[in-house]
Structure 1
Amino acid sequence: MPLTERDAPLKRLWAEPTRCAELRQVAEVLRDRIHRVTMDPLSDRVPLRVHARYSRNQACAALGMANPGSLREGVKWLQDEQADLIFVTLIKSEEHYSPTTMYADRAITDRLF
């Protein structure tokens, strides 16, 4: 919705002080539930935020990959970004993973994964 079209609904909202008060209360509750604060995107071309959570499909789409289902395991080199793409599952369940893939993905050091 263009910004010019957003003015009318906002004016209607501001004209309802009870609803505005309720929205402020909801915002306060939600602010207390924030688990992490994300940082701004690293580049203008890639809208991903540091410390945010994304599904594999969301991350791949943001990086311009047309077929995220083709990425299963290993490292994917992204030439345009000059970066390696690595997905790690930190919490695994027996329901979704075989015994051979139930190993613990973890950082080796503070610089190596």
Structure 2
Amino acid sequence: MPDVTVINNLSEEIHVAFFVGVPTNWKNHLKPGERWTTHLASLPLHFEARSVTGNREFSHNESMEMFATIGGACAAGTASVVSAGALFAGDMLAGIPVVSVPLMAAASAGEFRGIF
């Protein structure tokens, strides 16, 4: 788990952040010549720097909004796979692949050959 130092060599203030999907470590208003050291997890990170214009600061609320969006998308994807699997299993038990076969065909962009 390394310590990383960011040095602002620009002539203007900036906002900087390290992301692991969402902003996890950030410093707003890093002044010219100023150093900021943070302790980071040993994970693949994304770095972003923003100019100080308007309301572009990194914040806890922004992190939570991004986390909720990513979490919601993952939950929706998982739910669709689980529900499609349940429909397919139910159709096969009943011997009537009425609902799941068209859904599977649509999901695989017409490449589904069916089970027949």
Shared fold, TM over 0.5:
no
What is the TM-score with the length of structure 2 in the denominator?
0.22
Higher RCO (C-alpha 8 Å, min separation 6): 2
Higher Cα Rg, which structure: 2
